Amino acid sequence: MHRRLRAPKLSAAALVLAAAAGLLVPAPGAAALDNGTARTPPMGWNSWNSYGCAIDEQLIRDSADALAASGLREAGYRYVVVDDCWMAPERDRAGRLVADPVRFPAGIKALADHVHALGLRFGLYQVPTERTCAQRGGALPGATGSRGHERQDAAAFAEWGVDYLKYDWCSPEGTLADQVAAFTLMRDALRDTGRPIVYSINPNSYHPDKNGARYDWSPVANLWRTTEDITAAWATRADPADGSAQGVLDITGVNARLAGQAGPGHWNDPDMLEVGVGGLSDDEARTHLALWAQMAAPLIAGNRLTAMPARIRDLLATPGVIAVDQDPLGAQGTVIDDREGRLVVSRPLADGGRSVSLTNTGDGPAVLATTAAAAGLPDAGSYAVTDLWTGRTATVAGPSVPFGAEVPGHGTAVYRLEPRAVADGPGQRWRARSPVKPSTSRCRLPSVLRV
């Protein structure tokens, strides 16, 4: 059941056209957006994955309250984002956006005030085209997109206290150049409001070209969706070109190869979390979170916060994994091994160490191992290793000493390595004489799982 990572194909014709338009690569020297926000990947919660259009102000208030009360706020989950379907079908006479008067009777500003009073930040959804995705799909009446209203809408967002805008293409039309122009228009409109607003874009929705993975959007937005919508599945193997949702492994295959364009203030967005939504096993949910952290992805939870089991809360709040995601260096991890049955990702960290994840892409348990040298760590006599699920530490006695674990099917072991000895106590040691090779070896690591 293993899939190798594949780069999405860009047709020769598309390459020629894009190159002719000077657009495939942003102008040389084009600086990444620096609006002071999203210096680490944004973390928060969004209404879409669990509720779709079935939202109202009470649900958003309750979810914000639960985010604060559950401790997820302290874990770093700060943005409460109201996705599609908050709008009335018509703008008012002055052309202003209006919240749905039945489901959001107190209006968006009052809702944002409630969220802010909890020490959280507030986000909202809109599109640069005519119709939101729900309007285009027929789930919501009206055509209240921002086209032609960009400055007016940006001013409204700032006035309401919006801290995060999710701006979603939602149209089969428009060239890459059109998309760049439209997304840039709102970038500038937001900037001119003077309010720091995280700018999250999606060039892929309803569009056959999936330009989110074909263009470096870092000069335009703080985060940009790289794939089709996520669904709570390990791998759908569907063709995203026809709009089919993608699973954790499908999305990783696209997003992981875009590591070079991520950094503080500008992130690849492999879509929101499906942790706790249903559809993923606990091992798959752990893999989802670990890979998103390794890819420096925004962590936007999508589960029902008001009915969150403790084990989902604890997973979402796993301190070592969150610390990797939020590492201030902001370097996205890269795949160092994707041979049959495994996916090994190494991410450079600000302290000179690395986080290393060993994902078992097969269906049954397997022993997976790598070395500090393979993970790109500098030469050292020993390495302190922390298992990020348990917090336990161990020592790896040299750069080419294999370390790892027996990992359940679709599961992930994830470690933090520092090029130094473990100070406090001997812990477990992986020694040079370990019989394990960093290969497809199925032999057991003698010390495995006792980290």
Which residues does the annotation mark as catalytic? 168, 229
Q: What is the DSSP string of 346-375?
A: EEE-TTS-EEEEEEE-SSS-EEEEE-TTTT
> What are the start-end ranges of the E strands in 138-218?
164-168, 198-202
Q: Minimum Å distance from CB 170 to ligand GAL?
A: 6
Q: Minimum Å distance from CB 134 to ligand GAL?
A: 4
Q: Looking only at residues 18 through 57 of this chain, which bind ligand GAL when binding is defined by CB under 6 A?
A: 48
- Name the burial class of residue 85, with classes exposed (0-12), middle (13-18) and buried (19+) by CB atoms within 10 angstroms of its CB: buried
- Contact status: 428 vs ligand GAL (CB under 6 A): no
Nearer to ligand GAL, 77 or 224 (CB): 224
Nearer to ligand GAL, 271 or 283 (CB): 271
Positive or negative, the Cα torsion across 104, 110, 112, 118?
negative
Positive or negative, the Cα torsion across 441, 444, 446, 448?
positive
- Contact status: 232 vs ligand GAL (CB under 6 A): no
Nearer to ligand GAL, 171 or 318 (CB): 171
Which one of residues 24, 64, 134, 259 is an interface residue with ligand GAL (CB under 6 A)? 134
- Contact status: 229 vs ligand GAL (CB under 6 A): yes
- Contact status: 234 vs ligand GAL (CB under 6 A): no
- Contact status: 202 vs ligand GAL (CB under 6 A): yes
Q: Minimum Å distance from CB 14 to ligand GAL?
A: 21
How far is Cα 126 from Cα 106, in angstroms, rounded to an integer?
19
CA dist 121 → 144, 154, 164 (Å):
24, 17, 8
Pick the stretch among 11-19, 125-133, 207-215, 318-326 that binds ligand GAL (CB under 6 A).
125-133
Q: Minimum Å distance from CB 395 to ligand GAL?
A: 43
Q: Minimum Å distance from CB 448 to ligand GAL?
A: 39
The position carrying tokens 């074909």 is 214
Nearer to ligand GAL, 174 or 408 (CB): 174
Pick the stretch among 103-111, 131-139, 190-198, 261-269 that binds ligand GAL (CB under 6 A).
131-139
Q: Dihedral of the CA atoms 57, 63, 69, 73 (nearest 10)?
A: -110
Nearer to ligand GAL, 24 or 133 (CB): 133
Amino acid at 137: G
Which one of residues 26, 33, 78, 83 is an interface residue with ligand GAL (CB under 6 A)? 83
Please state the length of the chain: 451
Pick the stretch among 16-24, 129-137, 290-298, 316-324 that binds ligand GAL (CB under 6 A).
129-137
Please, which residues have CB within 8 angstroms of residue 384's CB and are 6 or more apart in sequence? 393, 394, 395, 417, 418, 420, 421, 422, 423
Q: Minimum Å distance from CB 132 to ligand GAL?
A: 6
How far is Cα 444 from Cα 181, in angstroms, rounded to an integer?
55
Give phi and psi for 201, each to the nearest 5. Answer: -120, 160
Size of the site for ligand GAL (CB under 6 A): 12
The position carrying tokens 């984002």 is 81
The two tokens of residue 307 are 């009915």
Note the residues at the interface with ligand GAL (CB under 6 A): 48, 83-84, 125, 132-134, 168, 170, 202, 205, 229
